[in-house]
Chain A
Amino acid sequence: MIQKQIDWRKYLIVFLITLGIFLTASYASNYFSNRKINELKSIQDKIAIDILSSETQFSLLTELSCKNISDSVYSPELGELGSKLEWSRNNLGVTPEVSYLRKYYSLLQIKDYLLAKKISERCGVKSSFILYFYIAQENCSECEKESLVLSDLRDKYPELRVYSFDYTTKLGAVEAMLQIYKIKDTELPALVLDDEVLTGFHSVEDLDARIVKSFKLQEKKSINKTNS
């Protein structure tokens, strides 16, 4: 027979070590999340500068010819930023920083849209624009499907520019767009292509045909413009 003793001190030390490990893991997680947020911020700053530069370039162009326009007026990082923000929302959670960055991103998209549209109209640059409205917080399976369709089409047509807006974004500019196109939350996903509002899910084939039509329409316009 042996008498057993409990070493309570050891139980406490192990508890403190485990707590320490959890706190360190939490700190490391926050550290890496902050790094990601900072990366997002720097991408946004770069896009903001790009857009500002493009706007300035465009203002200058009114006095110059369209020949001087370069491809660089479009911000290539916009798409990358969108997917990174989407990932952050899913993986880092809806933190105040992520929400703020998403608002900023929406604004950058609108600015980019207005500018790209102006350049396209004035200089006849082949491009097509889709405004895409979805809802992220609620379970919208149609929206998830539509996002897949749009990213596939974007890969297929480099001239296609898709701007995505979360319906719930609390930003005056986004709310104004919702008003302009009369988008209701019951009809999501909603798409605006050549000023036509399409609600509900639209397949790859359907949208593909519309995009091709949009490109043709644009070509026609630019020929008329040249003739006149």
Chain B
Amino acid sequence: MGKAELPLHAPGTQVDKGYIGESTPRPNAQRLLQGRGAFTDDLRFPRLAHVAFFRSPYAHARIRKLSLEKARAQPGVVGVFDGRAVAEYCKPWVAVLAHLKGIKSPAQHAIAIERACWQGEACAAVVAESRTQAEDAVQHIEAEWEELPVVVDMEESLSGKRVIHPDLGDNICFKREHDTGGVEEIFAKADVVVEDTFHFGRHTGVCVEGRAILADYNAAEHSLTVYHATQAPHMMQDIFSRHLNIPEGNVRVIAKDVGGSFGIKVHVYADEMATAALSIMLRRPVKFVADRLESFLSDIHAREHRARVRLACTKAGEILAFDLDDLTAIGPYSVYPRTSGIEGNQVVNLTGGPYKHQKYRARMHVVFTNKNVTCQYRAVGHPIAVALTEGIVDLAAQKIGIDPADFRRKNLISDDAYPYTFPSGIKFEKLSHHKALDLLLRITNYAGLRAEQSRLRQQKIYRGIGLAAMIEVTNPSPAFYGVGGARISAQDGATLRLEPTGMVTVMCSVTEQGQGTEGIFAQIAASAVGVSIDKVRVITGDTGVTPYGGGTWASRGAGIGGEAVLLAGRALRANMLDVAAKMLSLDKAELDVRDNHVINRLTGEAKLPLAELGRVAYFRPDTLPIDFQSELTVTRHYTPRQYGFTFTNGIQASLVEVDPDTGFVKLLKHWCVEDSGTVINPMLVDEQIRGGVVQGIGAALYEECLYGPDGQLLNGNMADYLVPMAGEMPDIVCAHIETPTLQSQLGAKGVGEAGTAGAPAAVMNAINDALAPLGARVTRMPFTPERILQALKKV
């Protein structure tokens, strides 16, 4: 069932897909365009106090003594607190999950007690009447430190020479081994074996809006309202409740406009927990907004992997096996509550993912270091797995002497092989690798690009074309977190209410961070109910208002929240028709709703405006039969359960030109073909893919959190940490295959992470393709001019 056949209205009627598939502009963009959004830092409260944190200047040090008295005496200071004081109000946490067997991590406090384990860890809090005063007073905190040995390098951490948390015995947070068996034998006998080691820089999300939280404790009610730049309000409600000892019903989390998140704003941050605790301690609202320097030191970082991968294949180019050894470092703590074991776990699950081979072995270690923590950031594990897979696949194609596109065509899982179980154990419902490859080759004019590349090489212009096929986790079931004991909902819900005026209000538990959630929910609701989109209002991001749900992460908003909206919309329409049938004394089966009117479903004749239906239902129900009660508010929920994840697939291509004299890479063009099932709004999907591609390009070319041997972050500001800007970015062409998931009626799969998953691999392969005639090859991201010149042996 494709979107064209989507039966939004009763079978037998004229099929009407409404707004689904239309590039409708987002209604909620208007306020943002006029600077009239409401980001957390824009809110104004009476008696609002501001917190600033005293952060460890050392990567690993014992706090011998903290002198807070001078700070307490500074102008405007309301209170100064150390870790012990805050711990009285906020229970520590341990970020482990039962389904990640053996994962371990020490307890983490809102404010460090006795010891700081990374540079930037909060060790004391100053609350003052203004942020300026709080920051001024922080400078008057005096600390005596005893520096401790620092573990910065992940290989050193794995060796266990120095153990960061002696109680844990070693530096290994989590390890996993997977083996189908038979891998050694295949590698021993294979015609062709290729091997390489890839390095992935540690980078971070750089949301333009820093993390922000405003906690407002009401002592009279023992209630806490938290205005929070978060992706997961209900998850945070549960966490504030349990760790601050407030009944869950007394905790309300409100996420108003959120200035980008990308996974950064879905975790528990110690300084944010401290802010909420301080509001309770001081019995007044307290706000914390991470400034940019704090963001670099304390927003989760991500990636930082070293992975060795081997591929065995036949002379004819049939891939037989993959063998992986991945090492990743996560800082001193696993991050609560999702843990920092997931990224490595995903690398094991996904490596080799698009291909037909049956033998696979993987070994993966997650180790502690004295750097900032890492956790799930957009496309979690995928950029690593895709780059490892596609990097080694290109190397094999090169060794055999076969075109990379032909090599992929030989090995991609056939489009008719589904459902399919991959050797890592993951299951695919239905993918379209071959259709996607064919479409990509067509829109890139691949043969033409190759011809132009050869021609330009004669002129010593080095262009490269890189391909990256990918699979992606979307619409996760409870298998992702719930089964491991995390209180994170895999289910989402939507409430739809017909207002007396004929308007429809939608309340949904999936949140909006700019990806267009509210826009597509309006499209789905309008289509399902039968109203024009200007009649729909959408409310998200408030635990006091919406149904319970997971929020926004793992490319789940459209596929899960959208399905809940669709189901609720259909139910509301049915209930509206019950009312109309009574009002019109007609059989409900003769009626439908279209263009804000109840209509005759066969003739299309308008019978009753919805405003009139609403007026009667709410204000003159006395005119309806005595035994009839209208129900014009309905709620429906949806949880994907048939598959652990609803996998999507796609393929990207990058065209670059490398200057062998300067090492600079010029991005000429980028293409992405994606199969995300039913596309609800092509315009939103395309620019979200482009944004993801650009973040992936950042990983490939620019972004890296650089640490010195003492664990000091060397480039923790926007001037030194480079992100992609408009001037360097190419035009990005998007195209779609639509293979709707049959698990839901909407058929939508996720798309938010696709671009980020595949772009680093595509760019890497393009650079290596350009460098191939020069005998050079790069495998350490980001591919800075310096690293390219090193590969060319010019520096």
Q: Note whether A and B form a binding pair.
A: no
What residues of chain B have their CB less than 8 Å away from a CB belonging to chain A?
A: none
